[in-house]
Amino acid sequence: MKILVTGAKGQLGQTIAGLAQNYPSFDFDFKSSSELDITNAEAVKALFASKSYDYCINCAAYTKVDLAEQEIDLARKVNSIGPKNLAAQCKLHDVVLLHISTDFVFDGFLNEPYREKDIARPLGFYGDSKYKGERYIAENLPEHFIFRTSWLYSEYGHNFLKTMIKLGDEKDELSIVYDQLGTPTYTEDLVEVMLHIIELGSTAYGVYHYSNEGVASWYDFAKEIFDVSSTNVRLKPILSAAYPTPAKRPKYSVLDKSKIKGTFGIAIPHWRDSLKKAVGALKKESV
């Protein structure tokens, strides 16, 4: 099974690489953004013409939510045009595309977990660019899986977990927003589900929501990080209005996972349990 992984240097790509040895029947071809610029249609075309793939996992993404409000063109190219280029070549070469999207396609005004069929209304350009990428894929390639996920973190790359641990070592007190609710998601859990779906050879294509179980505010997430890592820092809960950002964020972006659990018969870990695994992995790295 030949699998192309784009965005190989990001935290999802690195997570797949870290788990690759557990899947001996999979032949992964990892491409970083410097090795494959998915916004370059000719480069994508040339790669697919030169190599044969069964699946493509698109981990390439522009994820700087606030900066996207300024770097509109770059965010659009990576999050919208890039997936379109991949979908075009996947269709031409009979390749199944797995693509990662975001809870930020929703406006956060719903008071219950978002389902796949709920209307997407992004508040900022990051969410808008990701949703356009979804649409390009759906309109051009029937053989696709789109995974909307939330609050990704891992022992790799830049993310909230690593930022909090760094700040916790440097500061005595931190102010963290407590009026934005969602679900922290460990990349390893998401990757395991995607690779499980490939193992199944499933043709149940479409959009799926995946995050860990449970609900948290950023304050809750930070507190648990410090508790699990035994970091002594005072936490002050603040409202979003006290910490204004260039991009608006959904106040509530919890995802309903009924569809993915029912379709593939999977059990999803609670975010607190997965966080313990991630902190343990980070501690091993630092030894």
The pLDDT tens digits for 113-157 are 999 999 999 999 999 999 999 999 999 999 999 999 999 999 999
Contact 154, 102 (CB under 8 A): no
Per annotation, catalytic residue among 53, 55, 62, 126: 126
The pLDDT of residue 287: 56
Please tell me the pTM assigned to this model. 0.96
Nearest of 100, 287, 284 to residue 210 by alpha carbon: 100
Exposed, middle or buried by CB within 10 Å (0-12, 13-18, 19+), for 281?
Answer: middle
Contact 95, 53 (CB under 8 A): yes
Establish whether 126 is a catalytic residue: yes
The pLDDT of residue 284: 79
Render pLDDT for 153-184 as a digit per residue (tens, 0 to 9).
999 999 999 999 999 999 999 999 999 999 99
The pLDDT of residue 286: 66
Q: Which residues of 44-75 are buried (b: 16+ CB within 10 A; e: fewer)?
A: beebbeeeebbbbbbbbbbbebebbbebeeeb
Where the chain has pLDDT below 70, the residues are 286-287
Contact 108, 251 (CB under 8 A): yes
Output the CA–CA distances (angstroms, integers) from residue 268 to 12, 188, 209, in the order listed: 18, 12, 12
Report the chain's C-alpha Rg in angstroms. 19
Nearest of 155, 41, 144, 59 to residue 100 by alpha carbon: 59
The pLDDT of residue 13: 98
The pLDDT of residue 285: 74
Q: What are phi and psi of 138, to 5 degrees?
A: -60, -35
Contact 160, 186 (CB under 8 A): no
Output the CA–CA distances (angstroms, integers) from residue 9 to 16, 60, 148, 170, in the order listed: 10, 9, 20, 27
Strand ranges of the sheet holding 206-209, from the earlier edge strand across to the other edge = 27-31, 2-6, 55-58, 96-102, 144-149, 206-209
Q: What are phi and psi of 154, to 5 degrees?
A: -170, -175
